[in-house]
Structure 1
Amino acid sequence: MAVAVNTGISSKDRGAIVAGLNKVLADAYAVYLKTHGYHWNVRGPNFQSLHVLLEGQYTEQWAALDTIAERIRALGELAPQGYGAFGNLSSIKDGDPEQDSDGMLTDLLKDNETLIATLRAAFPATEAGGDEATADLLTQRLQAHEKHAWMLRATLGVK
């Protein structure tokens, strides 16, 4: 039995909101995967502190993925899944484990900034649809990735 979603957001607005969330989820998943991979492969004299820094970031990111996907489901759509679907939606490229630690951190900084732009780009649809719940989720993720970017920038010794 099909029951229409009736949460006060039109079908058209929900579609636009979900399109933005799908891209957010794909970029967030790609940043999570790269952060976790660099956690495994980082090397050098600052190994321990970088290993711990990246573990804190990927752990926080992992928990958020479920929240984003569940918001998509609450809006009545299926969340994308699988590497192919995420690859088609994401603008984040795979990491290179051969890089030195500064290269890895610079790569993650750039990717967090890309994800920040993706998050910002999703706001207009939430505003147009009057979707305060999704706007709140985007705000929380924006704060988290701005903090991740700041910590990476500070670790690299740049302003």
Structure 2
Amino acid sequence: MLFGCLLETRVREKKAERIINSVFKSWSSLTNYEHNVSGRIWLVWRDSVRTTPVFKSDQMITCSVALKETEKEFFCTFIYARNTVEERKQLWDDLCDHHSTPLFQGKAWMIMGDFNEILAGEEHSGYEQTPNLPQGMQDFQKTARFYLLTDLGSQ
């Protein structure tokens, strides 16, 4: 593994550096403690990876990533979304802003993590009893369909 992310760490910032250094010896790291006291997102990477932060919030970290052997750049967004529909609206807005930024045009972009929302009703065990889509799922689908180039209709 050359780089990765830990989500929902629930570790106070004072202990984070010690833990990261003991588990990921000689790796570099980036966290989002300045946006959340629990440091919800930790990124780690080896020396063979060049990682440049682009954007951080309490729900996501986006960075430019290049493997030093190829120098091909791509973007990664690591997400740990908030629990409520209202709190996630900022996440959807931030992702849409990323998509429309010239920096991202023509570049590969991976988005991964815990969205705290399902994308399709069939993913929920009670969907057949209540087939109405909740607002949070509608917001996620709208973001995925129109801004992240995901074709939900083909599923």
Q: TM-score, normalised by structure 2?
A: 0.26
More strand by proportion, 1 or 2? Answer: 2
The structure with more helix, counted as a fraction of residues: 1
For normalisation by structure 1, the TM-score amounts to 0.25
